[in-house]
Amino acid sequence: MTVFVLASVRPAPPVESGRPRLDSREFWLESWDGSVKLPIARERHRGSIRLLTGGAGYEVAPSELALSSVPGAAGAVVTGVHTRPRDVLLPLQVHGRNQAAVWAEVQKLRDLTDPERGMTRDGNFRLVCRSASGTRQLSLAYRSGLEDAVEDLPWMKEYVLDCLAPQPFPQDREEQSKPFLLASGNAGFLGAPWPPKLSSSAVMGAGTPVEMLSTVPVYVTAALTGPCDSVLIEGSNGLRLDVPGGVPAGKTLRIVTDRRRKSIRLDGAPAAGMLAMGSKAPPFPLGQTLLSVTATGATAATRLVLSWLGLHRSLY
């Protein structure tokens, strides 16, 4: 009797290392203007301030559901979603070679988080994280935690900072922008513009894409530089910015559509009356938004720039 045995060579299973995988994230606290940075040490990052386990509020922001009952039906239906301000706990260990070094680092932490210094509507300092997802910042306002140390030794002190993030979504560090030219000349004899006067109206074709990588819908800032006699900006997301009186040559109308800090200014001066009734500024969702702009009286100097900071649900 003949017996056939089929054999195959399979790779050996990976050997699990006894040492846990290193944490590649890097954290630091930063002043609102970015001039002061306090590194927070992790597994392979050195520093006088260390982030301990037991923290909270770094990942997905908390949500509330608006509910409505339906007569004759059990339960309720969801009518809306609201993302609440984020509570953040930072358990920190401050250490040094001696007590004087420890107190010097503690004072830096006190100064950076002082709620009486430079408080804005979104906080006065930031927690920043660099990870595989990119570098993002979460704006914070200090509430408590520095009153007394949890652990107090001559070479080490421990605190648990209780902070609030009024804007619950972490932001990208770098602002993104998309510029548009609203008019151009026609090439004529020997390359000279013909006719000499540029077109009195220009249309940026309906369907010009704006790619949004923000994972949370984001409000844009529109900066329109004249000259133009009138401008209408429309988007597939429902955006409608109507400036019937146009913008004078050399001046810039800046429209901040973010509802947290909404403003309309012409070269820094309030100019809310320049935007027509019926204008709408909804946020831009993730993915593509198609934009169209009609500008009368535009020249080669007329510019439109859309800018924004991407928002995310998690810090990493």
Report if residue 153 sits inside a domain. yes
Give the pLDDT confidence score for residue 19 in this predicted structure.
56
- How far apart, in whole angstroms, are the C-alpha atoms of residue 30 and residue 37? 4
Give the pLDDT confidence score for residue 18 in this predicted structure.
55
Both 105 and 139 in a single domain?
Answer: yes
Final residue before a domain boundary, out of 144, 170, 196: 170
Both 130 and 209 in a single domain?
Answer: no
Give the pLDDT confidence score for residue 245 in this predicted structure.
96
Both 99 and 202 in a single domain?
Answer: no
Residue position matching structure tokens 């949004």: 212
Q: What is the block-wise mean pLDDT of the chain (316 residues), using blocks of 10 residues? A: 42 51 85 95 74 93 93 92 96 92 95 96 96 96 94 90 97 91 51 32 60 90 95 94 96 96 95 95 92 90 93 95
Total tally of structural domains belonging to the chain: 2
Both 157 and 181 in a single domain?
Answer: no
Give the pLDDT confidence score for residue 203 in this predicted structure.
47
Final residue before a domain boundary, out of 142, 170, 198: 170
* pTM for the model: 0.81
Q: How many CB atoms lie within 10 A of CB 131?
A: 15
Give the pLDDT confidence score for residue 186 in this predicted structure.
43
Nearest to 33 by CA among 115, 104, 120: 120
What lies within 8 Å, CB to CB, of 14 at 6+ separation is none
Both 120 and 215 in a single domain?
Answer: no
DSSP string, 121-153: TTBSEEEEEEETTEEEEEEEEEEES-SS-SEEE
Give the pLDDT confidence score for residue 6 in this predicted structure.
41
SS3 content of the chain, % helix, strand, coil (to 5): 5, 45, 50
- How far apart, in whole angstroms, are the C-alpha atoms of residue 200 and residue 305? 20
Report if residue 290 sits inside a domain. yes
Q: How many CB atoms lie within 10 A of CB 68?
A: 9
Residue 136, token pair as written in the block: 């993002």
Q: Is 109 helix (H, G, I), strand (E, B) or coil?
A: helix
129: CATH: 2.40.30.200
Both 218 and 122 in a single domain?
Answer: no
In terms of residue numbers, what domain contains 209? 176-308
Report if residue 246 sits inside a domain. yes
238: CATH: 2.60.120.860
Both 153 and 132 in a single domain?
Answer: yes
Both 157 and 203 in a single domain?
Answer: no
Give the pLDDT confidence score for residue 21 in this predicted structure.
57
Report if residue 59 sits inside a domain. yes
Residue 259 and residue 219 in contact, taking contact as beta carbons nearer than 8 Å: yes
Report if residue 111 sits inside a domain. yes
Give the pLDDT confidence score for residue 8 in this predicted structure.
42
Report if residue 4 sits inside a domain. no
